[in-house]
Amino acid sequence: DAKTTQPTSMDCAEGRAANLPCNHSTISGNEYVYWYRQIHSQGPQYIIHGLKNNETNEMASLIITEDRKSSTLILPHATLRDTAVYYCIVPTAGGTSYGKLTFGQGTILTVHP
């Protein structure tokens, strides 16, 4: 898997947008960027993924830079329940969603009242 770099921790006020950055400068042209989160003592939860275009679903938006070397996960209106560890993962091409995932340390997002 391509190496990703994320800040160790971030804070966000409830109701505000949470913007979580991820650097993946060694990403290859056909490798996707995946985001998962893990709430304390639970299994990880899939959030969103993308290749080159920006993506949006009911949970979040994913903004990928034109050179694809970095991306930002956006939680538009963070709630206390969004407090979790957020993982940015770039699986080796060919594996994508059916291959194994390599988890880094992720970003601990704390949403406060």
Interface with other proteins by CB under 8 A: which residues?
34, 36, 38, 41-46, 49, 87, 97-98, 100-106
Q: Least separation, in Å, of the C-beta of 16 and other proteins?
A: 27
- Nearer to other proteins by Cβ, of 63 and 108: the residue is 108
72 beta partners: 21, 63
Whole-Å CA distances, 3 to 21, 79, 88, 102, 113: 14, 29, 10, 9, 33
- Nearer to other proteins by Cβ, of 17 and 56: the residue is 56
- Nearer to other proteins by Cβ, of 8 and 53: the residue is 8
Q: How many whole angstroms from its chain centre is CA 62?
A: 8
Contact 37, 45 (CB under 8 A): yes
Q: Least separation, in Å, of the C-beta of 35 and other proteins?
A: 10
